[in-house]
Amino acid sequence: MMKEHEARELQILKQRHAIFQVLTPEQQQQLLNHKPRSHNQNGRAHGK
């Protein structure tokens, strides 16, 4: 069970890495600067 989960995690990481490779340095920087802390899309990281 755990192996399956790890395999999926690895696949996601590889996919992210592949996407990251094709971005311009500018886009990469934007991506790094705007890492969402949570999954809500309204711009607020914390506070409900």
Total residues found in the chain within this entry: 48
Tens digits of residue pLDDT in 9-47: 999 999 988 888 888 889 888 888 887 665 555 555 555
Model confidence, pTM: 0.43
Can you read off the two tokens belonging to residue 6? 């790890």
Sign of CA dihedral 20, 26, 29, 34: negative
Domain residue extents for the chain: 1-33
What pLDDT was estimated at residue 16? 87
Distance, in Å, from the CA atom of 7 to the CA atom of 11, rounded to the nearest integer, reads 6
